[in-house]
A = this chain, B = another copy of it.
Amino acid sequence: MKLEQATIKDIARELNVSSSTVSRALKDYPGISDETKRKVKELAEKMNYRPNAIALSLRKSRSFTIGVIIPEVVHFFFSTVISGIEEVAFSRGYNVILTQTNEKLAREKSSVDTMLSNQIDGFLVSYSKETTDFNHFSRLLDQGFPIVFFDRVPEIEDSVNVVVDDFKGSYEASKHLILQGYRRIYHISGPVQLKISKERLRGYQAALEDHGIKFENSWVIECPRGDENEAKEITLEILKTNSEKPDAFFCHNDMAAVGVMMACKEMGLKIPQDIGVVGFSNWQFCTMLDPSLSSVAQPGFKMGAKATEILLDIIEKKINTKETQNTFVLDTELLVRKSSVKI
């Protein structure tokens, strides 16, 4: 029951011309009589002719398809990025093949393989949490295969990256807490192997240092999963056991911030009076929480759009990887809401 698509041959046979004539007529090549062009186009329309992109890909070794590898689709930030990718790809005539790794390295590798099999023209990648060695990517980069990394970017020479300014976003958020009068600011951090976690940690530390706050290592707690339950557990433990208690939390993501808020409420602490909280990512739910959660907004759509533009420019050789800068940094925006405004 397959779709019987008309081919160039069909048109040619019907019109008693050669298939090259049809091919040329359809593409308005010079040296084809207007008469023939007209007839060909008319019949093509009538037969509902549609060029076979697969045949074209084979011929040109170009698929006009880009592969997107992402940890999770059900994730506000990433879905926003996908939206940006899709938008630009569509407008420039490219298809988007999508896979999610579910944070599994094995799946990431296997996706790379199938996508390469499918002759994609380039990759857009945000790698999984399990990914610590980048051979499966650097091998491709060495061969000159177009890859643009976004958000989670590797520390490989010559890789092209699009990131947000995690350091600055983190710095601003921490500074904001300090200016609000919070002093014992803890940091719920992400998985330390991720560069974004490191950057956010650095920004936090820099802000504290710059404002003369002496902090201890015990103020930084890693939350590898980064969901609200994990953060809640950890926060409860801190609030119950630590002798010197925190008066604010800067969290590496919003879900962790929710966990912190839950724990505080459970312990009878008032936000923002007793404890200030700031998250990261500005998920939709920030405004829905009580109190509303201050957060560092990441420009997801813009990141997807930018990464795609760069990738397509590389593919179409409008820019040369070697000559261009290789890390594009997008600005974050601190959105101050009730959870961190003491005064």
Interface residues of A (CB under 8 A from B): 1-5, 50-55, 57-58, 61, 63, 65, 72-76, 79-80, 82-83, 86, 90, 95-100, 107, 111, 113-119, 140, 143-145, 228, 255, 258, 262, 265, 283-285, 287-290
Residue in chain B with minimal CB distance to A3: B145
With A114-B95, A145-B3 already in contact, the answer to whether A76 and B73 are too (CB < 8 A) is no
Q: Which of A58, A76, A285 has the most CB of B within 10 A?
A: A285
Apart from A52-B119, A96-B97: 16 A-B pairs, beta carbons within 8 A: A2-B61, A3-B140, A53-B119, A54-B119, A65-B97, A74-B76, A74-B79, A74-B82, A86-B100, A95-B99, A96-B98, A255-B288, A262-B288, A288-B289, A289-B289, A290-B290
Q: Which residue of B lies closest to A143 (CB)?
A: B3
Are A74 and B63 closer than 8 Å at their CB atoms? no
Chain B residues closer than 8 Å to A107, beta-carbon distance: 90
Q: Is the CB of B61 within 8 A of A58?
A: no
Which residues on the B side are within 8 Å of A53 (C-beta)?
114, 117-119
For the complex, what is the distance from the CA of A79 to the CA of B265, rounded to whole Å? 31
A284 (CB) vs chain B CBs: closest residue: B285
Q: Name the residue of chain B whose CB is nearest to the CB of A287.
A: B228
How many whole Å from A269's CB to the nearest CB in chain B?
14
Residues of B with C-beta under 8 A to A97:
65, 95-98
CB-contact partner of A117 in B4, B51, B75, B255, under 8 A: B51
Q: Are B2 and A144 in contact (CB under 8 A)?
A: yes
Is the CB–CB distance between B143 and A50 below 8 Å?
A: no
Q: How many copies does the complex hold?
A: 2
Q: Which of A76, A116, A118 has the largest count of B CB atoms less than 10 A from its CB?
A: A118
- Name the distance in Å between A323's Cβ and chain B's nearest Cβ: 13
- Taking the nearest CB of chain B, how far is it from the CB of A112, in angstroms? 10
Known: A3-B116, A4-B143, A228-B287. A55 touches B52 (CB 8 A): no
Given A53-B118, A258-B288, check contact A1 B144 (CB 8 Å).
yes
Determine the chain B residues whose CB is within 8 A of the CB of A76 once the complex forms: 74, 76
**Residue of B with least CB distance to A76:** B74
Which residue on B lies nearest to A304, using beta carbons?
B73
Q: In the complex, A3 Cα to B145 Cα: how many Å?
A: 6
State A107–B87 Cα separation when bound (angstroms).
11
* A288 and B99 in contact, given A54-B57, A83-B74, A117-B51 (Cβ under 8 angstroms): no
Query: For residue A288, which residue of chain B has the nearest CB?
Result: B258
Q: Decide if A144 touches B3 in the complex (CB within 8 Å).
A: yes
Minimal Cβ-Cβ distance residue in B for A115 = B95
Complexed CA–CA distance, A98 and B85 (Å): 11
A255 to B285, CA, bound (A): 9
Q: Which residues of B contact A63 (CB under 8 A)?
A: 54
Given contacts A61-B2, A285-B284, contact A98 B118 (CB under 8 A): no
Residue from the list B57, B74, B98 in contact with A98, Cβ < 8 A? B98
Q: In the complex the two chains form, what is the Cα distance from A69 to B248 in whole Å?
A: 44
CB distance from A3 to the nearest CB of B (A): 5
Give the distance to chain B from A133, nearest Cβ to Cβ, in Å: 18
Q: What chain B residues lie within 8 Å of A115 (beta carbons)? A: 95
